[in-house]
């Protein structure tokens, strides 16, 4: 017998972690803005963005905290996502395009993470609403689509900025990498905001549905 799983505790922890990620991203963006604002041609100026950023005493602690929060958020999100997918399989098993295992594995398989988690997210959303088999209303999946688009774009931009920084040999090239880093941080903030909306909405729908039904076989 398939049983419903309670997503509430994980959802609350996840919202807190996502909000903490947003809070830490702002100092990271400030560091990038500071390094971009300097005139590197004047006497006594830093030799480049990396040296300029190093002048900010909180740089390393902020980066360290950001990494820890990001890793914790990944773990909690995937556990919540898998639990939400299990519930979706109770209500509408025939609407699930992938097995519940893909709610975990789909995030780690190269290339397929571009679309498989998004498909599962749509399945979860539709299965959690009052009528899983109803046609999608206009704009109903906007939160899912915007969250996913921002998350994918943020990851790609972050990877690009890292590669540009590693290959930078001049101040101008390093500054270009910093601009991309700033853009990536902005995309990550947007993705975190819409992830909060997605988590809260799905959890709310699943709560409302679970409170009025007997666990399905």
Predicted local confidence at residue 38, as pLDDT: 75
CB 48 within 8 A of CB 171: yes
Query: Can you tell me whether residue 154 is helix, strand or coil?
Result: helix
Predicted local confidence at residue 42, as pLDDT: 67
DSSP 171-205: HHHHHHHHHHHHHHHHHHHHHHHHHHHHHHHHHHH
Can you give the pTM of this predicted structure?
0.90
Residue 217 has pLDDT above 50, yes or no: no
Query: Rounded to an integer, what distance in angstroms lies between the CA atom of residue 22 and that of residue 18?
Result: 6
pLDDT, tens digit, 9 for 90 and up, residues 92-123: 999 999 999 999 999 999 889 999 999 999 99
> Counting beta carbons within 10 angstroms of the beta carbon of residue 152, is it exposed (0 to 12), middle (13 to 18) or buried (19 or more)?
middle
45-73: average pLDDT: 76
51-70: average pLDDT: 76
Q: What percent of the chain has pLDDT over 90?
A: 68
């Amino acid at each position: 017998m398939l049983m419903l799983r309670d997503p509430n505790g994980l959802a609350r922890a996840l919202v807190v972690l996502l909000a903490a990620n947003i809070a830490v991203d702002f100092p990271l963006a400030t560091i990038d803005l500071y390094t971009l604002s300097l005139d590197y041609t004047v006497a006594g100026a830093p030799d480049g963005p990396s040296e300029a950023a190093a002048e900010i005493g909180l740089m390393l602690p902020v980066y360290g905290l950001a990494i820890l929060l990001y890793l914790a958020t990944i773990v909690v999100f995937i556990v919540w996502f898998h639990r939400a997918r299990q519930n979706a399989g109770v209500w509408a098993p025939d609407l699930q395009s992938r097995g519940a295992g893909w709610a975990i594995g789909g995030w780690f398989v190269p290339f397929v993470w571009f679309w498989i988690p998004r498909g599962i997210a749509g399945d979860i959303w539709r299965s959690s609403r009052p009528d899983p088999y109803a046609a999608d209303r206009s704009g109903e999946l906007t939160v899912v689509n915007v969250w996913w688009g921002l998350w994918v774009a943020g990851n790609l931009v972050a990877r690009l900025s890292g590669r540009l920084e590693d290959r930078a040999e001049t101040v101008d090239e390093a500054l270009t990498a910093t601009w991309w880093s700033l853009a990536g941080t902005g995309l990550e903030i947007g993705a975190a905001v819409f992830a909060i909306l997605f988590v809260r909405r799905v959890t709310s729908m699943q709560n409302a549905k679970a409170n009025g039904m007997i666990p399905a076989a």
